[in-house]
């Protein structure tokens, strides 16, 4: 089991999550973060820190695709342990439908 970053992180990228992770398992892409499932210790402290409510345990229904997405990109993206500056328009992207499609060109996270 691991926690996973899901679609609403895209273009919100608040990065509050990285400040609380005890094992620094977040990885940074251009528009969002993912969690390295091989490092995450399932502590769950990041979930309530996300203003976009984008972090979930991978055992929740419907998150298999997002678990695959996190596992795929974690080795390729850079480690991040300090909060950077969120996009200035982050609040405008909170809850927008179709962010995965617009940022990654697919509707299914397992295909990204």
Interface residues with ligand SF4 (CB under 6 A)? 3, 20-21, 23, 25, 35, 40-46
Nearest of 7, 3, 1, 32 to residue 20 by alpha carbon: 3
User: Which CB sits closer to ligand SF4, 4 or 100?
Assistant: 4
Give yes or no for residue 5 binding ligand F3S (CB under 6 A). Answer: yes
- Which listed range, 8-16, 36-44, 63-71, 104-112, lies at the site for ligand F3S (CB under 6 A)? 8-16
- The C-alpha atoms of residue 112 and residue 99 are separated, in whole angstroms, by 12
> Hey, is 94 helix, strand or coil?
coil
36: nearest Cα among 28, 45, 25, 50: 25
80 binds ligand F3S (CB under 6 A): no
Q: Is there binding between residue 35 and ligand F3S (CB under 6 A)?
A: no
Q: Which residues pair with 79 in a beta bridge?
A: 27
Q: Which does 96 bind (CB under 5 to 8 A by kind): ligand F3S, ligand SF4, none?
A: none
Q: Per the structure block, which two tokens stand in for 92? A: 């405008």
Residues at the contact surface with ligand F3S, assessed by CB under 6 A: 5, 9, 12-17, 32-33, 50, 52, 54-55
């Amino acid at each position: 089991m691991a926690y996973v970053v899901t679609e609403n992180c895209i273009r919100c990228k608040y990065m509050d999550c990285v400040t609380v992770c005890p094992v620094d398992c977040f990885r940074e892409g251009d528009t969002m973060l993912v969690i390295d499932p091989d490092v995450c210790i399932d502590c769950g402290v990041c979930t309530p820190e996300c203003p976009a409510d984008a972090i979930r345990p991978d055992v929740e229904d419907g998150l298999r695709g997002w678990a695959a997405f996190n596992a795929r990109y974690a080795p390729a993206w850079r480690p991040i342990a300090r909060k950077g500056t969120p996009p200035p328009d982050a609040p405008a992207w909170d809850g927008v439908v179709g962010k995965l499609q617009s940022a990654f060109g697919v509707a299914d996270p397992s295909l990204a």
